[in-house]
A and B are shown apart, each in its own frame.
Chain A
Amino acid sequence: MLEFLDSPRVLHGIYLLGSLMLFFIGLYGLLAKRHLLKIFVSIEIMELAVYLILIALATSPGETAPILSDGLLTFTGMADPIPQALTLTAIVIGVAVTALGTSMAIQYHRLTGHVGVDAMTELKD
Chain B
Amino acid sequence: MTLHFTPVWFIAVPLLLAFLSPLWVRLRLLMPILLGAHVALFALALSWIPTVRVAPLLETIVIAPPLGIHLHLDAVSLLLVALFNLAGALVASFIWLSNRESHPFNAAQDRLFDSAQDRLRGRPAFILILLLIAGSSGMVLTGDLFNLYVFLEIAGVSAYALTALRRDKSALEAGLKYLIIGSVAAIFFLFAIVLLYLQTGQLNMAALARDFAGIPAPMQALIGLLMLIGLGIKAELFPFNFWVPDIYRGSDPEITALFSGVLVKAFLFVLFHLVFLLLADPTVARTWLMALGATTMLVAEAVALRQQDLRRMLAYSSLGQVGLITLALGFASEATTAGALFHMVNHTLIKLLLFLLTALMLRRFLSVRLANLQGLGRAMPLAAGLFVLGALAVLGLPPLSGFASKLWILKGFAEARVFWPIALILLAALLEAGYYFRWIKVFYAPEPPVTAGQPEGDWAYAPLLLIAGLLILLGVAPFLLEDWFVQAAKALLGRGAILESVLGVQP
Contact = CB atoms under 8 A, between A and B. Distances in A.
- A and B interact: yes
Interface of A: 30, 36, 39-40, 43, 46-47, 50, 53-54, 57-58, 80, 82-83, 86, 89-90, 93-94, 96-97, 100-101, 104-105, 107-108, 111-112, 117, 120, 122-125
Given A46-B187, A50-B191, A107-B164, 19 more contacts: A36-B176, A39-B180, A43-B183, A47-B187, A50-B190, A54-B197, A57-B198, A89-B146, A96-B153, A97-B156, A97-B160, A101-B180, A101-B183, A108-B173, A117-B176, A122-B173, A123-B170, A125-B307, A125-B312
B161 interface: yes
Contact of A96 (B109, B157, B198, B250): B157
Nearest to B161: A100
Contacts of A108: 169, 172-173, 176
B152 to A, nearest CB: 10
Contacts of B245: 123
Contacts of B176: 36, 101, 104-105, 108, 117, 120
Contacts of A93: 150, 153
B194 A53 contact: yes
Contacts of A83: 197
Nearest to A94: B183
Interface of B: 109, 146, 149-150, 153, 156-157, 160-161, 164, 167-170, 172-177, 179-180, 183-184, 186-187, 190-191, 194, 197-198, 201, 203, 245-246, 249-250, 307-309, 312
A46 B187 CA distance: 7
B190 A111 contact: no
Contact of A122 (B149, B170, B183, B187): B170
A58 to B, nearest CB: 7
A94 B184 CA distance: 11
Contact of B177 (A50, A94, A120): A120
Contacts of B184: 30, 43, 46
Nearest to A125: B308
Contacts of A111: 109, 167-169, 172
Residue from the set A94, A96, A101 with the largest chain B CB neighbour count within 10 Å = A101
Contacts of A107: 164, 167, 172
A43 to B, nearest CB: 5
29 contacts: A39-B180, A43-B180, A46-B184, A47-B183, A50-B187, A53-B191, A54-B197, A57-B198, A89-B150, A90-B149, A94-B183, A97-B153, A97-B156, A97-B183, A100-B157, A100-B161, A100-B179, A101-B179, A104-B172, A104-B175, A105-B176, A108-B169, A108-B176, A111-B167, A122-B170, A123-B174, A125-B307, A125-B308, A125-B309
With a 10 A CB-CB cut-off, give which of B160, B184, B201, B309 has the most chain A CB atoms. Answer: B184
A110 to B, nearest CB: 10
B438 to A, nearest CB: 15
Contacts of A97: 153, 156-157, 160, 179, 183, 186
Nearest to B168: A111
A26 to B, nearest CB: 9
B243 to A, nearest CB: 10
A108 to B, nearest CB: 4
Contacts of B168: 111
Contacts, number: 101
A39 B149 CA distance: 22
- Interface-centre pick from B150, B172, B307, B309 (highest chain A CB count, 10 A): B172
Contacts of B198: 53-54, 57-58
B302 to A, nearest CB: 15
A122 B169 contact: yes
Contacts of B249: 123
A82 B150 contact: no
Contacts of A46: 184, 187
Nearest to B153: A93
A29 B358 CA distance: 38
A14 to B, nearest CB: 16
Contacts of B194: 50, 53-54
Contacts of B161: 100
Contacts of B173: 108, 120, 122-123
A84 B146 CA distance: 13
B459 to A, nearest CB: 31
Contacts of B197: 54, 58, 82-83, 86
Nearest to A43: B183
A89 B164 CA distance: 25
Nearest to A53: B194
Contacts of B250: 122-123
A46 B394 CA distance: 40
Nearest to A86: B146
Contacts of B167: 107, 111
Nearest to B309: A125
Contacts of A58: 197-198
Contacts of A96: 153, 157
A119 to B, nearest CB: 9
A100 B175 CA distance: 10
B187 A112 contact: no
Nearest to B154: A93
Contacts of B203: 82
A4 B156 CA distance: 44
Closest 9 CB pairs of A and B: A123-B246, A108-B172, A54-B194, A122-B170, A93-B153, A120-B173, A101-B179, A123-B249, A50-B191
